[in-house]
Copies of this chain bind each other. A is one copy, B any other.
Amino acid sequence: MKIVGIEHVGVAVNSINEKAAFWEYILKINRTATETVADQGVSTAIFDTGKGKIELLEAIDPNSPIAKYISKRGPGIHHICLEVEDITSAIKELKENDISLINETPTRGVEGYLIAFIHPRSTGGVLVELAQKQKPQ
């Protein structure tokens, strides 16, 4: 597979309203998007450094993965997302190498990306998301 770069780092927060200020006003990183992904039970705020984004993740559903993560480990870095050229061929390669996937087919993430998560048991404890940017229609 061809990894293009670090697309973003996902950070689990209790409150985007309370935690956005550090990234936006102290570090002065441009806030470029705010989006709710209902089927993952999260609200997101995205800060773009120009070379990789910071994605704050707040649970909007007590059963969402982010709510469960925070109740177990507290707020903090949740995952790293790597951009790939072709998510379908990436998933195929990972399966051929017996890598455990959370999504065995691409699903829709923030900003319209096609995404799949790799299970931390195959990566050394790191939740890795792969994402393919969609071409504008």
Interface residues, chain A, CB within 8 Å of chain B? 1-6, 9, 11, 13, 18-19, 22, 26-29, 49-52, 54, 73-77, 79-80, 82-83, 93-94, 97, 99, 120, 122-127
Contacting residue for A49 out of B6, B29, B93, B124, CB 8 A: B6
Give the distance in Å from the alpha carbon of A54 to the alpha carbon of B126 in the complex: 11
In the bound complex, residues from chain B placing their C-beta under 8 Å from that of A26 are 93-94, 97, 99
With A76-B120, A124-B13, A126-B11 in contact, is A3–B28 under 8 Å at CB?
yes
A82: chain B residues within 8 A (beta carbon): 27, 49
- Supposing A49-B6, A76-B126, A125-B74 touch, asked if A1 and B22 sit within 8 A by C-beta, the answer is no
Residues of chain B with a CB closer than 8 A to A74's CB = 125
Q: Which of B50, B54, B93, B123 contacts A4 (CB 8 A)?
A: B50
By a CB distance below 8 angstroms, the chain B residues around A122 are 22
Task: Give chain B residues whose Cβ lies under 8 Å from the Cβ of A126.
Answer: 11, 76-77
Would you list the 4 A-B pairs with minimal beta carbon distance, nearest first? Answer: A5-B51, A6-B52, A76-B125, A75-B125
Partner among B11, B22, B97, B124 whose Cβ is within 8 Å of the Cβ of A19: B124
